[in-house]
A = this chain, B = another copy of it.
Amino acid sequence: MAPDTNTIPGYTIFREGDYDSASAAAFIPDRVPHPLDIPDQLSIIEIPAAAQLIREWASPKLLKFNCITLREPTKSEYVAYKEGHASRPDRRAFAIVIEQQGSGQISEVVVNLTKSKVERWKEVKDVMPTLTLEDLDIMERISRKDSRVIEACRGLGITDMSKVFVDGWAIGVDERWGFERRLQQGLAYYRNHELDNQYAHPLDFTVIADTEREEVLSVDIRYVNGERTAIPLTEHHYLPNFIGDKYKHDTLKPIDITQPQGVSFQVRGNELTWAGYKMHIGFNYREGIVISDVRMHDPYEDRDRALFNRISVVEMVVPYGCPETPHHKKHAFDLGEYGSGYMTNSLKLGCDCKGAIHYMDGVLCTGKGEAAVIKNAICIHEEDNGLLYKHTDYRDGTVVSARDRKLIISQIITAANYEYGFYHTFTLDGTYKLEVKLTGMLNTYCMHPSEQAASSPYGTEVAPAIIAQNHQHIFSLRVDPEIDGHNNTVLQSDAVVSKDPLGSSENYYGNGFYCEKTPLRTALEGATNYNHETSRSWDIINPNRLNKVSKKPVAFKIVNNACPALLAKPGSVVWKRAAFARKSLWVLPYKDYELYPAGDYVCQSTGDENHPDNLTIQDWANRNESIENADIVCYIQFGLTHFPRTEDFPIMPVEPVSVMLRASNFFQRNPALWVPPSALCVDSISRNAFPACCSGGESKNLPKL
């Protein structure tokens, strides 16, 4: 059951010579990329081509490829091309490479694929790149053979090391080593048999390893009153092999969802059109889904209007709240430390999504520079979304209603124990919503008999002698807005009581309230928090375009009231490393290749400001540049604080959390009036025009359109 280090579950790997095979052919684009396919993925041809150019450049040094991904053009290149002022930018790859069997030097490489040459090679210092699935697999493999780990297991009565499982995690903090080692920590579990649920059997030690040297550095055993903590041995299962006869097969009757005429969207290359929307779907190892160049047709101005240049989830942090060693090291930055793309599930029809689905594959690389494909990495489908609008005239029962529809672009990632589903959702009224569904397995730990979870504030005893600790999930959604044009401003919108006193002629009855709009002018002003008392939201406006009707600037409103405060103390390790999570919103001027708010290199990061090769959002904000009527980028933080419940064990029911951006005085009127009603029931005027649909009062039976 130990993984074959030449395979990665869920990945289809193409090695040299494979590219002409029939199976490879399915993954090779049979087209010239669509003009707007610039922020696309690299193909299975381009990845090894880039690797080969890099290897040749570095020879005789040996390299491990940490990533090979599309180098998106600069925005000026992209815009010039899109607007017809320049020719198509060259196709480029970006790679991070680690020198093997030597210095371990990390370098960033830009390869021009159009010109077949390495354009840039930059050595970076005091940083560590993402841990890939291949890197993480090392932990278990070396732990099982390590004498100190074997000894630690023996102390718990374990002699069969094939029953010991070690989840590799990035290390939150460990002062014993620095950037001279590429560290990971291993969280140890036991399985009594192949399909046993290891999270029911957490072990009382962690393993610290050097990823590059494949060397165990330390086995840190937690002693309680000088004693080891026994393995919780009771089995707690969630797999059907064990639950089998407890399933109730007839309780839930099937719900069949079909689209007999097919889906309502069209896909050309990576360009998606649906119900007036146009957008482009990309994917990479780190952010997973990238949605770019989002436009929407304005039925009143009869033109496509730009909404967002680029949308992606760029970071997240999961700080655990138990201060006791070794738990203080657990604060996973799943995107920056592991990569949302690398961890993406290959999806299956009817299991992850229902109905008519269009899938897109994800193209990644292996450490050897091979192309690796995650088949069905991205799910695109529609769902009915209930009422879009309804109104009844109470006088006579005249009624009209229409149904809303969702377009959902989703991926699910597995981050060791946890899973996250990311659902990018568009609806007909001009709303984009990102919903994240959290599920999978709680991170668990064993309890010593002297410990009482009921009296410990830092966790919940979710099964006898098993504690699951308090933690937070804080996500960072990066939105590069393009609200009807490149230059935008963010207004902070606070619902406030009128300043005129009760009894004054301006506010005699005291009911006056309004929306106070404060422009965020500089990057430091743009680092703001949600305020519940004023139901704060933010309008991304285009100050150069007024809505013709309301005479207010056209805008999209950010609605985000699910943004918990970061509960680590100021100055603490996670507070420093996760600067982005200190604020609900950051607004910054757009800069090419400034994407990742916890730094380009999150593994082993310290969060210290002004790191030459690893700036964070705090550094960007400290420049305090203008964000007014400028090309800006918004980082929107949202998430939840999770105090585990027994109901979350042994597998967590989905916990959803979401954030929304919504047209607000962007269109001249309801942009979805083109949607045919699902029902109406009107008067004598149209009575002859339509077949019967409904009845009531004075109204006449009328049409189903």
Contact = CB atoms under 8 A, between A and B. Distances in A.
A494 to B, nearest CB: 10
A518 interface: no
A349 to B, nearest CB: 9
Contact of A653 (B397, B429, B500): B429
A31 interface: no
A256 interface: yes
Interface string A631-665: 00000000011010111111111100000000111
B319 A511 contact: yes
Given A10-B397, A238-B400, A251-B275, 4 more contacts: A1-B396, A243-B674, A252-B275, A561-B562
A131 B669 CA distance: 33
A49 interface: no
A608 interface: no
B673 A390 contact: no
Given A470-B515, A510-B575, A391 B414 contact: yes
Interface stretch (A58-66, A73-81, A94-102, A531-539): A531-539
Copies of this chain in its oligomeric complex: 2
B561 A386 contact: no
A236 B412 CA distance: 44
B647 A430 contact: yes
Contacts of A677: 240
A466 to B, nearest CB: 9
Interface string A82-121: 0000000000000000000000000000000000000000
27 contacts: A9-B395, A10-B696, A239-B398, A251-B264, A255-B258, A256-B257, A256-B259, A322-B511, A346-B696, A351-B679, A352-B390, A404-B654, A453-B550, A453-B551, A454-B552, A462-B549, A463-B549, A502-B570, A509-B572, A511-B569, A511-B574, A530-B532, A534-B565, A535-B641, A645-B664, A647-B663, A652-B670
A469 to B, nearest CB: 10
Contact of A396 (B3, B502, B649): B3
Contact of A394 (B396, B414, B648, B654): B414
A513 B397 CA distance: 55
A421 interface: yes
Nearest to A441: B391
B671 A647 contact: yes
Interface stretch (A151-159, A476-484, A610-618, A697-705): A697-705
Contacts of A10: 392, 397, 696-697
Which of A495, A534, A640, A667 is packed against the most chain B CB atoms within 10 Å? A495
Which 9 pairs show the lowest CB-CB distances between chains A and B?
A: A9-B697, A510-B572, A351-B679, A457-B514, A429-B653, A532-B532, A510-B569, A454-B551, A323-B512
Contact of A495 (B133, B398, B567, B693): B567
A697 B8 contact: yes
A613 to B, nearest CB: 25
B675 A647 contact: no
A414 B387 contact: no
Interface stretch (A205-213, A281-289, A682-690): A682-690
Nearest to A199: B391
Size class of the contact patch on chain A: 35 or more
A249 B561 CA distance: 37
Given A391-B419, A396-B1, A514-B457, A647 B676 contact: no
A439 interface: yes
A567 B551 CA distance: 25
Contacts of A226: none
Contacts of A667: 646-647
A506 to B, nearest CB: 6
A636 to B, nearest CB: 16
Contact of A440 (B390, B462, B496, B549): B390
A331 B510 CA distance: 12
A437 B386 CA distance: 10
A703 B240 CA distance: 9
A265 to B, nearest CB: 9
B239 A400 contact: yes
A16 to B, nearest CB: 22
A176 interface: no
B669 A236 contact: yes
